[in-house]
Every structure is written in C-alpha cells, then in structure tokens.
C-alpha cells in the first residue's frame, strides 16, 4: 500500500515537471537570439574599371650601339706621343684623343712655306717685267715676240705659285693628321692605341659609340612584323631591373635564315643601357578597352586566379575564378569572369574562403585601419 502511494507521487511529480517544461519552452525560444558568426576580415570593395589598355608584343634581344665610328690614323710611320682619351669617356666632336710625332710634318710645312714665298716673289718680278715691256712696246722700243715672252713668263710663275700654295695646303693637312680627333660626339667604346707605338695609315686607334645612343635589337616572330611600325612606343627592362622607354626606329626588311626571326630596332632614351646586355621588353601596338582590377584584388591559387565578390547580403563573399591578362601600373587586366557592377574585395583575398563573413568599410576608413595596424594597402582606386 505504501509502495503504491510512493509511485503515484513520483508519477505526479513527473507530470507536473513535464507540463511546466512544455509551458516554458516557447518563452525560452522567444528569448533566444540568433548568433551571427564574427567577421573574418575588414575589407573595402571596388568595382571593375574599363580602361584603355595597351596592346603589346613581348620580345627579347640584345642591346647594341646605334652606330659605331672607327677612328684611325690617316698618316703612317709616325709614333704615338700622347694619349688624351680612354675607354668609357664622353668626348665631343673635334676633341683631341691622341697625338702623333709631328716634327717631320712641321719641318715640311716650314719648307713649303718658303717655297710659296719664293714662288710669290718670282711672280711679282714677272708681273713687273710684263708691265715695263708693255710700256716699251707701246713706244715701239720692244718687239711683239719679246712681249709675248714676258707674258708667258708671268703666266708660268703664276701657275708655279698656285702649285706651291696647293703643296702648302697638303703639308698643313699632313700636320693636322698628327692630331687624332673625335669624328662625332659620343662615348669611347674601345682603344687600340698604345703610347710609343708606330702606326701605319689606316690603323684603328679608337672606336666610338656615336652620340652615346644605344638601341635594343628585339627578336620577333615574322608573323608579328606586319603589326609593328616605326615610331611605336616600347618599354625595355634591363638586367638590373631598371625600365627604359624607347621608340621603334626601324623594322628589319629581312628574316634571319638561321633563327627564323626578324629584328626590330628600338632606340632607347637615356644612357642607362650599355651595349651587349640581354633585355626583355614590350612593343606597344595601340590601345584597346579592357576590364581591370587592382593587382591586390587578384589571388593566384593552385594554378588559377581567384577574386572574392561581395554577395547581395553585404556580409559574405563568394569566390570567382577569372582569367588574368597583363599587369600594368598596379592593375591587372581581366580577360573573362567579370561582370559589370560586381563589388570585388580590394585586398586580403588570400585570407578569405568561399562564404566567409566580412565587414565592409569605405576605402578611406580601410586605409586608416591598415595604417593603424601597420599593414600596407596597395592597388586602391
């Protein structure tokens, strides 16, 4: 009897507790609030921009002198007595680079100057005789034959003076040739002259890069030649990483039979390039409209290129795979995968995943947050 009463009391307690739980359950549900996952990253977003984008051809090639001038001795059997220039020096047109022994040339010049003075004196004597003979002929005291002799003598002495003056000019030229001078402005690229060496006529003494101009000889496929024109802009990257601007000077009219490629001659601005460098670069063919994003918005990953697009809810992002093209001035060309009006995460995509929750801020606010945290933001609009 006592056991039955205890079991009845336990059953009544369970019934009351279950009823209370059932009555309180809606209130518990009503008081519970949904929990939003915390933001994975604070980001700013940008929209794709359609910009004029250069259509380029990539090429490789060597740098070389635009033109080289060979400076040689014009007279022979003379000793080099002085050297005034060395490899790498910048020289001006007419500047003395070396001197040859000039004692013999100077003596020959003085001798010829005396010969000219003698020929001039003979001519003056002949002119005076001719003048007196004409006065005598007018008075009948001199025959016509004698007058002709004076006239011929004057003409012969005049020709002798002209010949002596021509020889004097030759001696002056020979003396000037003992001074080896630069034939143009430029840089000395090589020097074969040695002090004390006796040189022959035509011996190369110096080699000069005319006007210091260096060009890039780009090798291109023959199929690309039809699109390349003189005057097109080019950008060359030197081995040290320095970028040099240039302009197409000439397109080769022939194709190499050994390499099957053609040469495009690009004149480089400035003097940073040196002959013999191997360089790569781009030749601009024109401009086309292209969709672009900041480079910081593009995430290379596992052989593909991803971007993260803000979903319509404004709090989550979705991964999109795009096809990236060329890079220029901090922006990347997107060939496919973009749509107008997309809001793309500007930077930090490497730390995101598909469906991640983000906090979106304005670009200026994002830059302030990055500055405060010491993280550099790049590629913004």
Examine the domain organization and report whether 77 and 181 are in the same domain: yes
Is there a domain that residue 19 lies in? no
| DSSP category for residue 357 | B
Examine the domain organization and report whether 293 and 321 are in the same domain: yes
Examine the domain organization and report whether 166 and 74 are in the same domain: yes
Spatial distance between the Cα atoms of 345 and 104, rounded to a whole number of angstroms: 84
User: Going residue by residue through the chain (381 aa), what tens digit of pLDDT does each one get?
Assistant: 444 566 656 555 666 555 555 555 544 444 444 555 666 678 888 888 888 887 888 899 999 999 999 999 999 899 999 999 999 899 999 999 999 999 999 999 999 999 999 999 999 999 988 888 887 777 766 777 778 888 899 999 999 999 999 999 999 999 999 999 999 999 999 999 999 999 999 999 999 999 989 999 999 988 888 889 999 999 999 888 888 999 999 999 889 888 889 999 999 987 678 888 899 999 988 888 888 889 888 888 888 888 889 888 888 888 888 888 888 788 988 888 888 788 898 888 788 888 888 888 875 444 443 444 443 333 333
Examine the domain organization and report whether 185 and 111 are in the same domain: yes
What is the per-residue pLDDT for 210? 93
Q: What are phi and psi of 246, to 5 degrees?
A: -155, 180
- The CATH number of the domain holding residue 221 is 2.40.30.170
Residue 327 belongs to domain spanning: 41-52+289-373
Spatial distance between the Cα atoms of 325 and 336, rounded to a whole number of angstroms: 9
Examine the domain organization and report whether 202 and 276 are in the same domain: no
Spatial distance between the Cα atoms of 323 and 344, rounded to a whole number of angstroms: 15
What is the per-residue pLDDT for 352? 82
Residue 227 CB contacts under 8 Å (≥ 6 apart), including other chains? 57, 285
Is there a domain that residue 32 lies in? no
Spatial distance between the Cα atoms of 310 and 338, rounded to a whole number of angstroms: 13
Examine the domain organization and report whether 62 and 45 are in the same domain: no
Q: How far are the Cα atoms of 73, 112, 118 from residue 165, in angstroms, in the given order?
A: 25, 8, 11
Number of structural domains in the chain = 3
Residue 97 CB contacts under 8 Å (≥ 6 apart), including other chains? 71, 83, 84, 85, 91, 180, 181, 182, 188, 193, 205, 206
What is the per-residue pLDDT for 14? 63
């Amino acid at each position: 009897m006592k056991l039955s009463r205890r079991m009845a009391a336990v059953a009544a307690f369970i019934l009351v507790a279950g009823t209370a739980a059932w009555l309180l359950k809606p209130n518990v549900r009503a008081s519970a609030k949904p929990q939003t996952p915390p933001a994975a990253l604070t980001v700013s977003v940008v929209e794709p921009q359609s910009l004029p984008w250069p259509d380029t051809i990539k090429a490789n090639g060597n740098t070389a002198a635009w033109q080289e001038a060979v400076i040689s001795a014009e007279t022979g059997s003379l000793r080099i007595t002085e050297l005034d220039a060395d490899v790498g020096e910048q020289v001006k047109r007419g500047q003395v680079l070396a001197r040859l022994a000039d004692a013999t040339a100077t003596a020959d010049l003085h001798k010829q100057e005396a010969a000219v003075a003698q020929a001039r004196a003979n001519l003056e004597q002949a002119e005076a005789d001719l003048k007196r003979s004409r006065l005598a002929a007018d008075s009948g005291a001199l025959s016509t034959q004698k007058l002709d002799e004076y006239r011929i003598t004057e003409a012969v002495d005049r020709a002798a003076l002209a010949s002596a003056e021509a020889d004097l000019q030759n001696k002056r030229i020979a003396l000037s040739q003992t001074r080896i001078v630069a034939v143009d402005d430029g840089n000395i690229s090589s020097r074969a002259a040695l002090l004390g060496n006796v040189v022959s006529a035509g011996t190369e003494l110096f080699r000069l890069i005319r006007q210091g101009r260096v060009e890039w000889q780009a090798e291109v496929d023959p199929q690309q030649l039809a699109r390349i024109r003189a005057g097109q802009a080019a950008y060359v990257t030197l081995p040290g990483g320095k970028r040099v601007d240039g302009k197409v000077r000439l397109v080769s009219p022939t194709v190499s039979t050994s390499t099957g490629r053609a040469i495009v001659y690009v004149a480089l601005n400035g003097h940073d390039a040196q002959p013999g460098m191997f360089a790569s670069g781009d030749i601009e063919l024109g401009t086309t409209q292209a969709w672009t994003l900041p480079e910081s918005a593009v995430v290379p990953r596992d052989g593909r290129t991803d971007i993260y697009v803000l979903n319509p809810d404004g709090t989550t992002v979705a991964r999109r795979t795009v096809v990236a093209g060329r890079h220029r001035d901090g922006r990347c060309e997107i060939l496919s995968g973009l749509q107008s009006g997309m809001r793309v995460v500007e930077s930090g995509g490497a730390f995101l995943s598909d469906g991640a929750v983000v906090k979106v801020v304005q670009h200026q606010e994002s830059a302030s947050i990055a500055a405060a945290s010491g993280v550099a933001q790049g590629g913004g609009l």
